[in-house]
Amino acid sequence: MTHPAARIAELTAQIREANDAYHVRDSPTVDDAVYDAMVRELEGLEARHPDLAQHNSPTRSVGAAPQGRFTEVTHREPMLSLANARGPEELEAWFRRAQNILAAEGLADRPVQFVVEPKIDGLAVSLTYEFGKLVRGATRGDGVVGEDVTQNLLTIGSIPRQFPASSPDVIEVRGEVYLPLGAFGAFNESRVAAGLPTFANPRNSAAGSLRQVDPTETAKRPLALWCYGVAAWDGDGRPKGQWDALQWLSANGFPVNPDIERVGSIDAAAAACASWEARRAELDMDIDGAVVKIDDAELQRRLGSVGRAPRWAIAYKFTPTTATTRLLDVVVSVGRTGALIPFAVLDPVQVGGVTVRQATLHNQDDIARKDIRVGDLVIVQRAGDVIPQVVGPVTDVRTGEERPFEMPERCPTCDTPVSSPDGEVRRYCPNRSCPAQLVQSLIHFASRGAMDIEGLGEKTVSRLFEVGLVRSVADIYALREEQLLALDGFKETSARNLVAAIDASRRMPWTRVLTGLGIRHVGDITANAITAVAPSLDGLLKATLDDLAAAEGVGPVVGGAVVDFLASPANRDLLNQLAQAGVQTRVEGQRGTVDGPLTGATVVVTGSLGAMSRDEAKRAVADAGGRATESVSAQTTFLVAGEKAGSKLAKAEKLGVPILDEARFLRVLTGSEPLPAR
């Protein structure tokens, strides 16, 4: 066992380093979860060994001292931090402690209300107003002394420069500067375009932006602010509590989040926190928790603060979407395009309420760049429904036993030497008959986004492949009930259902068939664009690279992949077999022979129509000899705009494509009005 003094010294150094990276360099070196764990461990040790606790321990200070780039500002009142509660039990425990203190002060019977606010993951600022005029804006710094960033803060339009004169003489308003998520994405994209490094998250980018030496740089970044409190208040009318303070701020033009609630019980506060957590993904800002504050200013004063945090407020931390665990192994699987995909085998860990055993690692370059080694303690992240991913290793705790990962030189399934196509990071198994690739292609073909054959999932496909019943997607259409019944796990109903599902897939549109082929780079959107230039199998087989490149979103890379696919006699055969099996090989309703009022016309239907559904409208177009496509291009003859038409309408307007309302469309459809001229 490490001696507590040694561990305290070690943790102190690690937390200082992490603080410096986070607050000064705006580039965190450790994950929040790891950081919190270190602080908790240190707090625990200090509580058990008060004699060993250092007076300047990082548990007692907030952030890091200013850097000297900006003028120093001493806050009138210190900018405190918050203690954390992980879940409703810890929230209740916090309130019980507060109640005990209040009871000791003889305030047991005073009613308590709570204000529940989002905890925005940005940068705390303090705005000082003298006689209603903004005189200074500062960062938190170490909580006592911050940096004067007034000029930079003035670039944020929502910060009031002044407010009505019947106001306190001096006031410090506290709030959080952040970069809205939408703006963050766009901002990072512009940095990629300019060849600049991107920011890891909105918080770092807000912090980096606010601490620019040149305010015109800050002005380019669309920072925003939510105010969450007032600190110093010289003069009359001091708010009686947190709720009043927020009302006052809002009335005086300060941005205050309108969803902040005041509730009457700790249970209701927990429910409000849960509600923020549930809405988390819909917000245009990163929030990492909710803050519960005891409303009454008198109670706040009596409760006071301990260390760096007030006793009257607490940060309710959301279920972390990151966790740390051991990377047990890196295993390589082969995808349907032959791509070798490394994935992490993890010591099972709870992340955001789910047990995670595996995570993606993207590709070997990514693994090398992040320096992820087998045996490492790694940070795992989960966001919504996204597949969990390994963010990076915790390098501080390495033992030296960890080993770097090397991509195999041969396909793990068929042992063919792997290739790395020019300019691609990925390695590929070049063997088109590699069993792993074949099985994956079959799974893809049957999947929901392609032919949507219910009952033909990974397990069944693998089984059918193993016994040799299905080797190619065309074989699927030759399956008979008797063959299935001979296999383990099939009963009469399941066999009948599968054959019926396969039969139903014969009516899947041509674009789904194209998607299902699993041509490299051709997903559903691209497949759909290709059907516009190759509305039938004949057209596709004859298509040149130039023809394909006329499709929206298809360039030389995607077009080249399609041409390559079609160059293979085996693939051409496969397509013909599918056609013979009765699978759709032309755009719905595109019979080529129909002669009608819309012959030669390409039509896009968008928005909702009154007389028919969009699909019915498309069929009507085809029946009248026209072709209905999904996307508007210069080739579109006209666009039918129903109610709530959106981006397609805008695009048609831009391209000068004639736009028909439903009534006129019906007249053109029946031939009582000629096709619109361009």
Catalytic residues: 119
Give the nearer residue to ligand IVH in terms of CB position, either 119 or 427: 119
CA distances from 527 to 137, 503, 506, 521 (A): 53, 22, 17, 9
Contact 380, 348 (CB under 8 A): no
Give the nearer residue to ligand IVH in terms of CB position, either 281 or 570: 281
Give the nearer residue to ligand IVH in terms of CB position, either 275 or 360: 275
∠ CA 262-140-72 to the nearest 5 degrees?
Answer: 145
The kind and range of the H/E element at 405 are: none
Question: Shortest gap between Cβ of 81 and ligand IVH (angstroms)?
Answer: 4
Question: Shortest gap between Cβ of 29 and ligand IVH (angstroms)?
Answer: 19
The kind and range of the H/E element at 7 are: helix 4-19
Give the nearer residue to ligand IVH in terms of CB position, either 76 or 370: 76
Closest CA to 292 of 321, 266, 257: 266
SS3 readout for 204-266: HHHHHHHCCCCHHHHHCCCCEEEEEEEEEEECCCCCCEHHHHHHHHHHCCCCCCCCCEEECCH
Amino acid at 567: A
Question: Shortest gap between Cβ of 61 and ligand IVH (angstroms)?
Answer: 13
Handedness of CA 193, 196, 198, 199 (dihedral sign): negative
Give the nearer residue to ligand IVH in terms of CB position, either 32 or 454: 32
Give the nearer residue to ligand IVH in terms of CB position, either 249 or 476: 249
To the nearest 10 degrees (0 to 180), the angle between helices 662-669 and 614-623 is: 30
Task: Please spell the DSSP secondary structure of 416-475, one letter per residue.
Answer: PBPB--TT-SS-B---TT-HHHHHHHHHHHHSTTTT--TT--HHHHHHHHHTTS-SSGGG
Question: Shortest gap between Cβ of 314 and ligand IVH (angstroms)?
Answer: 9
The helix/strand/coil state of 114 is strand
Question: Shortest gap between Cβ of 78 and ligand IVH (angstroms)?
Answer: 9
CA distance 9 to 52: 10
The helix/strand/coil state of 317 is strand
Contact 249, 94 (CB under 8 A): no
Give the nearer residue to ligand IVH in terms of CB position, either 46 or 117: 117
Question: Shortest gap between Cβ of 309 and ligand IVH (angstroms)?
Answer: 7
Give the nearer residue to ligand IVH in terms of CB position, either 31 or 117: 117
Closest CA to 472 of 578, 566, 569: 578
CA distance 280 to 318: 9
Give the nearer residue to ligand IVH in terms of CB position, either 84 or 494: 84
Could you list the residues that contact ligand IVH (CB under 6 A)? 80-82, 117, 119-120, 124, 176, 228-229, 291, 310, 313, 315
* Extended strands (E) in 274-395: 287-294, 305-306, 309-310, 313-317, 322-334, 340-351, 354-360, 373-374, 377-381, 389-393
Closest CA to 14 of 427, 396, 498: 396
CA distance 4 to 49: 8
The helix/strand/coil state of 34 is helix
Question: Shortest gap between Cβ of 260 and ligand IVH (angstroms)?
Answer: 8
